[in-house]
Amino acid sequence: MKNTKRNTIFVLLIAIIVIYFIVKDDFQSIVNNLMLANKWLIILSVIFIFLYWLFRAISLYLIAREYKKKIKFRVILQQTLITQFFNGITPFATGGEPMQVYMLTKSGIKVANATNIIVQEFIMYQIALVVIGFVALFLNFRYNICTLSPILGNLILIGFIINISIGLVLLFVSFSKRFSRAIVNLALKLCIKLRIVKNVEKAKKSWNEKVEEYNESGTMLKENKVLFCECVLLNIFSLALFYLIPYFVFLSLGYHNIGLMQVFVSSAFILIVGNFVPMPGGTGGIEFAFSKFFELMIPSVALKSALLIWRVITYYLGIIVGGISLGFFKGDDKSWE
């Protein structure tokens, strides 16, 4: 709980600093833009982020139902919302998965099975992220939508390498016991040399148990190809909704000359870049990427206004809604049934 409060305060301070640097040179103009923005289009953008969370929850629900048939969808939906809070206040969104495992166990699912569920969902999300990223690359190559500077090009390349590597490692760990054990042995040797591990046998046993859990995830994916495809498609659809939010934000500010495809491709690149920024919510990197990808399409003041609206909807709203949802979680089975 102390870490949660500390992280939340840290995110709040970072948000204040980032917002200050965004508005400091054009404060009054940005305020005027925000006051004149079309509220209905902003509400539509908010609906899109809720739909993004909804489809992520549906994907997770379909997987969880394989382990507990009677689990209720509202349980998974609440969990998905709470996850937004923990993802938002931790670097690389590392706080969400452990909390998801914890909440699944509170809904009556064994820890090993809860871990499998989250691993499977994460694999499918990574696949969807990479697939839609390659679609964006193809569209950009085919139609020359975004002019990529060397810096942006390198950031996108690094982002793809990191995301593909994560996906491949998870797939190999899930499907190949030999690869899994090789990774465990390599990591264990490194930890021994660095004197991180004291009880070697205990650590080896614990890590091998984790390998078995990941291999079970791979078995489930192989045996449920239809479920696998459904969940990947749900994640692709949810990401597509997420990527279109800036389009309606720009429209709300009166800019109608920007196309859906431009926004879709740019948003895909922004998320690819932002995923490897070691700050909660990718703060700093996300704002930089958003500004750079859209600066040739939107005037400076309007771009800053759009960035504020978009960031509140896609990031800070998740922390707020997730925090409120967390307040209704009592930590026992009765609160979920």
pLDDT for 278:
78
pLDDT for 335:
43
Q: Are 285 and 151 in contact (CB under 8 A)?
A: no
Q: Are 286 and 277 in contact (CB under 8 A)?
A: yes
- Alpha-carbon span 313 to 210, nearest angstrom: 36
Q: Where are the alpha helices (DSSP H) in 194-299?
A: 200-223, 225-252, 260-274, 285-294
Q: What global pTM score does this model have?
A: 0.88
Which residues lie closer than 8 Å to 212 by C-beta, 6 or more apart? none
Report, as ranges of residue numbers, the positions in the chain whose pLDDT lies below 70.
1-2, 173-177, 179-181, 183-184, 187-188, 191-192, 194-200, 203-204, 207-218, 330-337
pLDDT for 194:
65
Q: Are 30 and 301 in contact (CB under 8 A)?
A: yes
pLDDT for 336:
41
pLDDT for 218:
66
| The token pair that represents 180 in the structure block | 């899994």
- Alpha-carbon span 159 to 152, nearest angstrom: 10
- Alpha-carbon span 201 to 261, nearest angstrom: 54
- Alpha-carbon span 133 to 126, nearest angstrom: 10
- Alpha-carbon span 133 to 157, nearest angstrom: 11
